[in-house]
Amino acid sequence: MVEGEKIEEGMDELWGEAVVKPGDGSDRGQLFRDGNYAMFIHWGLYSSLGNKVEGKTYYGIGEWIMNRNLADIPVDEYMELAGEFNPVAFDAMEIAQLARDAGMKYIIITSKHHEGFAMYHSRASQFNIVDATPFKRDPMKELAAACSEVGIGFGFYYSHSADWTFPGGNGGPKTDAEGKPATFQDYYEKKCLPQVKEITSEYGPITLVWFDTPGSIPKEYVEELVQVVRENQPDALVSGRAGHGLGDYLTLGDMEVPHGNVDGMWESVDTTNDSWAYAWYDEYWKTPKDILHLLISCIGRGGTYMLNVGPRGDGSIPERAARSLRKSGEWIERYPQVIYATDASPWQHALPWGDVTAKDGKLFLCIFDWPESGNLYLPGLKTEIKSARLLKGDTARDIPVGTREGWTIFELPAQKPEKLVSVIEVELATPAEVDPVWGIDPEIATEIFAEFAEVTGAEKEEKKWMEKFGEWKKVVHVHGWQEGGKAAWEADVLEPGDYIVELTYAGEGRLVWGVDIEGGEHMENQQNSSHNYQRFPMGWINFPEPGRYRVSVSCLEGNIGTASLKSIHFAAVV
Ligand code: FHN
């Protein structure tokens, strides 16, 4: 290897084009149908740095610390970290038990990330935790055994295209130890293929092989890798990020929880703070309620949720992450029927107060914002209700239900039964029939996203960015406004009257926006804008009677070329 060689690959090259193409996982899909919640673990040499190198902190995803976007560490220097890596606090049983207590059904852990270091005993490369560190144990053997003991599944993450320390790996050194040019084929044949054979044949039954970021890997290699998984682990799923559409299911973008239902088998991957791997400063933890909200949103949209923890270099899990996971897990233990093997919400999007999952002729209304008035408003349900019960663990009480103007109204007690998420179980007389139109809630502020708008004279587009490095944010926004351009939604109103309208947008300088009710009021106002999405008040608008309205937004004046609309909000004036 050339001394001091640095990795050249950035995040865009590494993702490749085929990151999220779904394949056909029809016969292996049971894992996702039953176990729609999993633990992801990013753990490697990078964990020992925790994003601090020679006293300087780098902000961004920790497993990328050696990349030019963060500390830009030469390959030979980085590889020397192995000599000091000694995760004496690693306790496989504790981690497996944590995942179980959290209500997670399997663990996927990094066997090799882009850094190229094998966190298991690999014969294909000496750069592994048994041969190159004072630790000398194979933690993957221990974790596989612990998962089996506590009764959850076990699987591996494997970075098949990027390898930043092996000659020829994507982003890796261009020459070998003798200074001869190295090709991707060299890396693939000497390291990637043999390692995938190792992880799929030496760790017992594997639930899933989570290939990541295919980059420019040729299709024939992915075909061969998938074939190895099929032969060694016929029941294991292969992640959508294998590339070339050869995975079993769709993996959405990092940290992406969709707003609308998504068909087919898919997963969202997210992390308990901002970084996948441990970063010493990253204390922005998801609360137990955040976790339940995100999990229920994924299940409600028809998918699965895999939530990451980044153990420290010594192998211990940050206590705040563990606490949030345990607390949310206690809730799941009381309401397993709401989470596991459930179907997507027939509303196809979240509702102002919460979300819905469905199972065996029942709807589970999960309430994140308890309505103070004692009424919970559900728009669009056309099916007769047999019973409605407010759950409190194993106990339940019947609650009165009424209907008005096509809305179903549940009468709730003043006190919510659960601190985190309360649940109403609704039993239906026949399969659920729902009009998924947005309803403007009479009590709880309603946010309707631009992605659901019908757009004319403007463009609707997905936009992604990072605030630090690697922790992706995503919006679907409306921009490119032309004169007369509109984003329009249909929405049902139950309570007539004045509503406060706000818009969430980004842009530059002051912008004038117009809001119109078709056949009704027009309002407009000017507000400043921010580089990031911020919610700005527009004013009041009147819905004169109950019924369906068409509401539209236009950008009228200012630096219109920068105006990027994310959502519209309505809150009843009380
Ligand atoms: O580059 C990796 C990143 O480090 C992390 O592993 C995530 C997890 O989904 N996958 C890649 C970026 O999408």
Q: How far is the CA of 18 from the centre of ligand 1 (A)?
A: 14
**Exposed, middle or buried: residue 400 (CB in 10 Å: 0-12, 13-18, 19+)?**
exposed
Pair of tokens at residue 300? 């409600």
Spell out which residues line ligand 1, taking CB within 6 angstroms: 42, 61, 63-64, 212-213, 254, 269, 276
What is the best residue among 14, 41, 212, 251 to mutate for testing ligand 1's pocket, by most ligand atoms within 8 Å of CB? Answer: 212
- Categorise residue 59: left if φ over 0, alpha if ψ from -120 to 50, beta otherwise: beta
Q: 7, 13, 213, 474: which to mutate for ligand 1, most atoms within 8 A of CB?
A: 213
**pTM strictly above 0.75:** yes
Which atom of ligand 1 is least distant from the CA of 63? 4
pLDDT range class, residue 29, cuts 50, 70, 90: confident
pLDDT digits (tens, 9 = 90+) for 318-372: 999 999 999 999 999 999 999 999 999 999 999 999 999 999 999 999 999 999 9
Distance CA 468, CA 206 (A): 34
61: CA distance to ligand 1 center in Å? 9
Helix/strand/coil for 132: coil
**What is the total residue count of the chain?**
574
Which helix (H) or strand (E) segment holds residue 429: the answer is none
Q: Whose CA is nearest to atom 8 of ligand 1?
A: 254
Using one digit for the tens of pLDDT, what is the confidence trace for 389-444?
999 999 999 999 999 999 999 999 999 999 999 999 999 999 999 999 999 999 99
Token pair of 193 as six digits: 């293929």
**Low-confidence winner among 219-228, 403-412, 468-477 (lowest mean pLDDT):** 468-477
User: Which atom of ligand 1 is nearest the CA belonging to 19?
Assistant: 13
Q: What is the pLDDT of residues 240-269, one digit of tens each?
A: 999 999 999 999 999 999 999 999 999 999
Q: What residue owns the CA closest to ligand 1's atom 10?
A: 212
State in Å: Cα 384 to ligand 1 middle: 46
What's the pLDDT tens digit per position in 286-323? Answer: 999 999 999 999 999 999 999 999 999 999 999 999 99
- Per the structure block, which two tokens stand in for 314? 């010594």
Q: Which atom of ligand 1 is nearest to the CA of 11?
A: 1
pLDDT tens-digit readout, 103-139: 999 999 999 999 999 999 999 999 999 999 999 999 9
DSSP secondary structure code for residue 26 in this structure: G
Amino acid type, 300 = G
Atom of ligand 1 nearest to the CA of 308: 8
Q: pLDDT digit string (tens) for 149-195?
A: 999 999 999 999 999 999 999 999 999 999 999 999 999 999 999 99
- H/E stretch holding 96: helix 92-101
Going from the Cα of 460 to the center of ligand 1, the distance in angstroms, rounded, reads: 27
